[in-house]
Structure 1
Amino acid sequence: MSFTNLGLSEPLLKAIKEQGYDTPTPIQQKAIPVVIEGKDVLAAAQTGTGKTAGFTLPLLEKLSRTQPNMQKKQIRALVLTPTRELAAQVAESIKTYGKHLPYTSTVIFGGVGINPQLAAIRKGVDIVIATPGRLLDIAGQKGIDFSALECLILDEADRMLDMGFIHDIKKLMKLMPQKRQTLLFSATFSPEIKTLAEGLLNDPVLVEVARQNETADQIKQVIHFVDKRRKRELLSQLIKVKKWKQVLVFTRTKHGANKLTKELEESGISAAAIHGNKSQGARTKALAAFKANEIRVLVATDIAARGIDIDQLPHVVNYELPNVPEDYVHRIGRTGRAGQSGEAVSLVCIDEHELLKNIEKFIKFEIPKVDIPAFRPDPNIKAEPIQNGRGGGKGRGKSGGNSRNKPRSSGSRDGTVSNNRNKNRNRNKSQGLNK
């Protein structure tokens, strides 16, 4: 099937061709015609399969078919995302595919000044891409008018629930017209997501192109068992011996990301960290340098798991396993994107064996274990509880500006995994998010 068969107009087809694409992915084949028809959609596909284009293309097509008279501060479409990086990624997609259409868009998130964002909306925009907290700030200042909203899109909705954004989402829903098209896209389907959809969507079309919790086939997964104190040494050796040029490494805490970045730099490997305690400018600079291959390693907390989109990123490393199995899927989904192959390596110490067991149960796949003789774990070391304080127990630090785009939950402020996530889920159940 070609994009020409999906009901897209010539300006969009031209932009798609300029990006070098001619065949839509399965999620795009199923979602685009349904969205253009104006139906509500509940869509799930494994990460890296083209979900963003799956809603940006039909959104732009729908907007092109009508030309309403818009008043000051009114918008036609809203995309909500859980993180700043993902908001920027979606905004770039809309800019790329809408380059031959007369539409304006702006991206809104915390960590930067609010006044330029208010000014952009006053000037007039068709599409807003935003994180929930900062958008609430702007709505509270009467800086945006939702009365003409035609389409609402929740991207990575499961992540927004995990990060505790449900209260912000509910507040925003009260400001929006009942008559609208709503699309809910997610990398995983969970009972919580389906329950949320029941309250937001009207007779939605279910679009699912992969088994629940499935990881992409093109990602080669491997486990190396190693003592915790030797992880950095093993990581450095893998990077140098295998000549890895571009590696995304996930740590559990912000302090851990900073510490590992410093150690890699000291060992002669260029690296930068990206997490919630970094200013938005620092985060943007680090991500841009990584994409441009100016640095070899980007060390990130889970805030980056949904916001880094590099078509040919070859390697992802779980320096520490995530506490929540779903996050493993999102982390490794940063590689193997757009049909490319990728490798996901996890360095697992004795403390993380239970986490590994839970991940393999979740993805229904036993990840291959590769023994590295020089780094075999010491059998005399006993497992210890994993510590999950904010920022690795080193204090909260500065959040990089307005914190309203960060979760209201009792977990980490930047979405880093913590034991408090289960508390959030239990609290969600009491608020009717679960059956």
Structure 2
Amino acid sequence: MADSKLLDDTATFSSFAGVLDSRILRALADKGFARPTLVQAKAIPLALEGRDILARARTGSGKTAAYCVPLIQKILSSKKTAAQSATRALILVPTRELSEQVSSLLKGLLQYCEKDVTYVNVATGTTAHLKSVLADTPDIVVATPARALSLLQAKSLSLASAESLVIDEADLILSYGHDEDMKQILAGGFLPSVYQSYLMSATMTKDVETLKGLVLRSPAILRLEEDEDVAANLSQYSVRCSEVDKFLLAYVILKLKLVKGKCLIFVNDVDRSYRLKLFLEQFSIKSCVLNSELPLNSRFHIVQEFNKGVYDYIIATDESGGKGEADSDVESEAEDVPEAEAEEEDPDMLPTQRPAEGDTPAKPTLKRKRATPPPPSQKKRPKKAGDREYGVSRGVDFVDVSCVLNFDLPSSARAYTHRVGRTARAGRSGMALSFVVPTDEFGKHKVVGGVASTRRDEKVFARIEADQGARGSKIAEYKFDMKQVNSFRYRMEDALRAVTRSAIKEARVKELKTEILNSDKLKAHFEDNPLDLEYLRHDKALHPTRVQAHMKHVPKYLMPRIAAVPGGAETDDTTFVPFKKESSARGRGRGRGGKSSRGGRKKNDPLKKFGR
């Protein structure tokens, strides 16, 4: 058994030398994992003793390695006496993105024992291909519940000799629509009577309690959210603004580089992601979109390149996080909202041409004014095709994110927590900025493509504030000096005029066609030529709209003026102070060593001096 000193902040993975295979330790060292995170230090010794594990730890805390390491060790030990090959472990994840991430970590950990322990990711691929790879009885199978059940029922996958079952992101497994699949897997006689189980989760929900009763036997329960670290390292801000001002502020923040480092921008639907991308293109701001329509290979490659620093801005469509995790009362309110009855507006109309404040604003969406209720077939827009098992606000490992920008507010406090959990991870500092649309601003500016969830922004944000307060965090309201920001408004309006509905539709089709071609290349050619991946970009301009050359640069006279810094030399130059990004070299990082970041570091307001 591992020594108790592993719980000490100064302990390293070498402390496991007596219980972990030297090949695993060598692989961990190659990946730069110097010291175990808290969840790893607690879970690995217990798992090696054969205990069932229920671990609650925040995103970015190292939960994946916490179960992969003991899983591999157990298989290596079993195969010393095993007479025949068999599938010994099943890892269930809610999304295909997470399945790729788990597979990537397994590949690294098995670097020196890949001949002794094999794995396969069956969350993707054709049925014929999966039957072929499963015929070799891999030791570890990574799958979504739906795919695992399908293969079990087809008898392509056998778990008769399984020793371990892992359910990762357990709080999402059922909310993603896998409840029936899980029930059939657990009650269908596919698993042996005795096996070791792991439930890994960021939150404790009713779904987790349900799974706990079904799969765990006298588990070791680890609650390791480390909220104290999050509150210390994460700066949270909100801005109350109209839909139009969202675009204005996003333009100012990104064009003036007020955010230093990588930024993850969340929106709530696919059309919105392309509208924002096309809008930013008008100012030569490169970004790439990430949504459920794109092929899985492209989505995974986009995340990989973002993590390498190839892209600075990803516009991620958080479809499942917005709807699947909505607060119950807010969700029921949304179901009661009638379909809007409004006259369609000219998509080229500027925000300044909207009805005056005293006028009755047109309600949002849809096609033409009706005196009678619409037929059932016209009440709802058809659901767009997409990957049901897509998800970006949870599970996917975005590395070194400096800022999370909630361009569209999520529809629940829990979804907000998962989004902002993409930054300030593993001891690093980060910030989150959320745009909140006041109720009286809802529906006034349909030209910018508002989303239905905006109607409930104020109510949802009140819940978010209460939830964050209970976690020891505070969301500060930031008020930009709109006198300075308004100097950029005419340029913003020019850009919005160019991004019409037809331009968005054209861009969406163009991007999808391009990424389908990219996906095929990634699947075939790039497997044999990994270096060629560097030449495949996902942030290329779509340009279905007219781009004006003068929009690329910001004239000096538009730059915001600020008060002179005390003690500094005064000049006549117009200047601005960017959002301050604290050093990311401090802290434990991804378990790579270094001193703790708790030691009284003064936290700076990253928005300080701009607009105040």
TM range, smaller chain: 0.7 to 0.9
- Distance in 1, matches of 2:417 and 2:484, equals 26
Q: Which has the larger radius of gyration?
A: 2
Once the two structures are superposed, residues 167-211 of structure 1 have per-residue CA deviations (whole angstroms, 9 ceiling, x without a partner) of 111111222122111100000112331232012111111011127
- Distance in 2, matches of 1:320 and 1:136, equals 35
Equivalent of 2:205, from 190, 205, 213? Answer: 190
Query: CA contact under 8 A between 2:93 and 2:143: conserved in structure 1?
Result: yes
SS of 2:147 mapped into structure 1: helix
Instruction: Give the Å deviation of 1:256.
Output: 2.1
In the alignment, does 2:184 pair up with 1:201? no
- Distance in 1, matches of 2:306 and 2:248, equals 22
Once the two structures are superposed, residues 375-403 of structure 1 have per-residue CA deviations (whole angstroms, 9 ceiling, x without a partner) of 8999xxxxxxxxxxxxxxx9xx99x99xx
- Distance in 2, matches of 1:295 and 1:305, equals 18
Compared CA separation, residues 237 and 114, structure 1 to 2 (3 A): farther
Query: CA contact under 8 A between 2:55 and 2:201: conserved in structure 1?
Result: yes
Where does residue 397 of structure 2 map in the other structure? 309
SS of 2:40 mapped into structure 1: helix
Instruction: Give the Å deviation of 1:222.
Output: 1.6
- Distance in 2, matches of 1:93 and 1:229, equals 42
Equivalent of 1:3, from 2, 9, 13? Answer: 13
Compared CA separation, residues 297 and 103, structure 1 to 2 (3 A): same
Equivalent of 2:120, from 88, 98, 106? Answer: 106
Alignment of 1:233-272 (within 5 A): 233-241=248-256, 242=258, 244-272=260-288
Where does residue 290 of structure 1 map in the other structure? 306
Where does residue 322 of structure 2 map in the other structure? none
Instruction: Give the Å deviation of 1:258.
Output: 2.8
- Distance in 2, matches of 1:375 and 1:275, equals 36
Once the two structures are superposed, residues 310-365 of structure 1 have per-residue CA deviations (whole angstroms, 9 ceiling, x without a partner) of 33222211111111211111111112223222222212221412111111222323
Query: CA contact under 8 A between 1:213 and 1:326: conserved in structure 2?
Result: no
Alignment of 1:226-237 (within 5 A): 226-237=241-252
Task: Indicate the larger mover: 340-349 or 235-244.
Answer: 235-244
Q: Which amino acid aligns with 1:358?
A: R
Where does residue 149 of structure 2 map in the other structure? 136
Equivalent of 2:315, from 282, 299, 302? Answer: 299
Equivalent of 1:329, from 412, 417, 425? Answer: 417
Instruction: Give the Å deviation of 1:306.
Output: 2.0
Alignment of 1:386-401 (within 5 A): none
- Distance in 1, matches of 2:419 and 2:39, equals 20
Q: Which amino acid aligns with 2:117?
A: Y
Where does residue 64 of structure 1 map in the other structure? 76
Where does residue 358 of structure 1 map in the other structure? 463
Query: CA contact under 8 A between 2:230 and 2:424: conserved in structure 1?
Result: no
Compared CA separation, residues 376 and 199, structure 1 to 2 (3 A): farther
- Distance in 1, matches of 2:298 and 2:281, equals 17
Equivalent of 2:53, from 41, 44, 55? Answer: 41
Instruction: Give the Å deviation of 1:87.
Output: 0.9
How large is the Cα RMSD of the aligned pairs?
2.7
Unaligned segments of structure 2, at least 5 residues: 1-10, 319-390, 439-454, 487-504, 517-612
Where does residue 219 of structure 1 map in the other structure? 234
Deviating beyond 4 angstroms after TM superposition, the runs of 4 or more aligned structure 1 residues are 211-216, 375-378
Q: Size of the alignment, in residue pairs?
A: 381
- Distance in 1, matches of 2:484 and 2:140, equals 53
Query: CA contact under 8 A between 2:229 and 2:427: conserved in structure 1?
Result: no
SS of 1:206 mapped into structure 2: strand
Where does residue 164 of structure 2 map in the other structure? 151
Query: CA contact under 8 A between 1:82 and 1:132: conserved in structure 2?
Result: yes
- Distance in 1, matches of 2:231 and 2:83, equals 44
- Distance in 2, matches of 1:326 and 1:158, equals 11
Identity %: 29
Instruction: Give the Å deviation of 1:129.
Output: 1.1
Compared CA separation, residues 127 and 247, structure 1 to 2 (3 A): same
Higher relative contact order (CA 8 A, sep 6+): 1
Query: CA contact under 8 A between 1:27 and 1:51: conserved in structure 2?
Result: yes
Where does residue 20 of structure 1 map in the other structure? 32
Compared CA separation, residues 86 and 254, structure 1 to 2 (3 A): same
Query: CA contact under 8 A between 2:52 and 2:216: conserved in structure 1?
Result: yes
Compared CA separation, residues 114 and 342, structure 1 to 2 (3 A): farther
Once the two structures are superposed, residues 69-109 of structure 1 have per-residue CA deviations (whole angstroms, 9 ceiling, x without a partner) of 345xx411111111111111111111112212221111122
In the alignment, does 2:389 pair up with 1:373? no
Q: TM-score, normalised by structure 2?
A: 0.58
Unaligned segments of structure 1, at least 5 residues: 379-393, 402-435
SS of 2:401 mapped into structure 1: coil
SS of 1:79 mapped into structure 2: strand
Q: TM-score, normalised by structure 1?
A: 0.81
- Distance in 1, matches of 2:140 and 2:304, equals 24
Where does residue 408 of structure 2 map in the other structure? 320
Compared CA separation, residues 216 and 143, structure 1 to 2 (3 A): farther
Where does residue 426 of structure 1 map in the other structure? none
Q: Which amino acid aligns with 2:312?
A: R
Q: Which amino acid aligns with 2:31?
A: Q
Where does residue 384 of structure 1 map in the other structure? none
